[in-house]
Amino acid sequence: MSSNLELAVARLAGYLSGVVAMDGGIRFYSASAFVVSNENSVDSPETMIREFYAKQTTLQFASSQKLGRGLGDLERQLGGYLIRGPWGLVEQAIPHQLVDARRGFLAFRIMDMISDMAPEARGFHSVYKLETRASGSDSEVTFFGVRIHDGFLILQFNDDSLFIRTPHT
């Protein structure tokens, strides 16, 4: 991975982390970005993500899908992962249109960053969504994999709310 790409991915990871933290649930939700690659050309990021986490956990995916409209679908889905609850307030206190507008703006900014760091992603049209399911007190994790020359740019969104709210003995 080139140092320019490493720096751009680090900036994106910091941006994602900050945006999700601004929502007020910093203990419940987190986000990051990283690149996975493999010497063999693999069509799906599932194997590469599993290998990336292999030493830390036995990661299993409950679902894996290729998004039909690629980056367009990614942009439409991102907002819900960036702002889960509108700034920790009761939803009726903030007009829904304002929350949707903020989600759309933040998703656009992230897509702009992806376009700048990996312009080839538009040509590949390969975007995947992989999800783990929470069972008991596990975290729920959603990965979006965007095909780039070096492998996949991964956007990771963690929902730890079940884990944190479940009493541990």
Domain containing residue 27: CATH number: 3.40.1000
Q: How many domains does the chain have?
A: 1
Q: Is the Cβ–Cβ distance between 34 and 156 less than 8 Å? A: yes
Domain that holds residue 54: 3-165
Mean pLDDT of the chain: 82
- Structure token digits, residue 99: 């929350």
What is the Cβ-side half-sphere exposure of residue 45, based on CA atoms within 13 angstroms?
Answer: 32
pLDDT at 54: 64
* pLDDT at residue 56 tops 90: no
pLDDT digits (tens, 9 = 90+) for 84-94: 765 555 555 66
pLDDT digits (tens, 9 = 90+) for 125-156: 789 999 987 665 578 899 999 998 878 999 99
**Reported pTM:** 0.83
Q: How many residues does the chain have?
A: 169
